[in-house]
Amino acid sequence: MAALTMGLAEAKNNFSKVTSEVNKTGRPVTVLKNNKPWVVIQPASAAGSIVDVAVDFMDEYSEVFEELAK
């Protein structure tokens, strides 16, 4: 399943629609700031421990982190 992403301005301007869609589909949305992952909007029911969230984020963007480490 591909991750859904959007820019900060788009998320801000459509926050109600974005949060409604996230809760309806259960799919999180990663909000980008300056084209870099900044925050993830996800249903409250999907929130696990902070460690689980961090691990999922690192897994999703492992290629980005590998490129930045060069």
> Which distant-in-sequence residues (6+ apart) come within 8 Å of 63 by Cβ?
none
For residue 37, the domain's CATH number is 3.40.1620.10
Cα 32 to Cα 2: distance, rounded to the nearest angstrom: 15
Number of independent structural domains in the chain: 1
Q: Across-strand partners of 37?
A: 32
* pLDDT tens for each residue of 3-34: 689 999 999 999 999 999 999 998 999 999 99
Cα 35 to Cα 7: distance, rounded to the nearest angstrom: 7
* pTM across the whole model: 0.62
Domain that holds residue 33: 4-68
What are the two backbone dihedrals, phi and then psi, of residue 6, each rounded to the nearest 5 degrees?
Answer: -160, 160
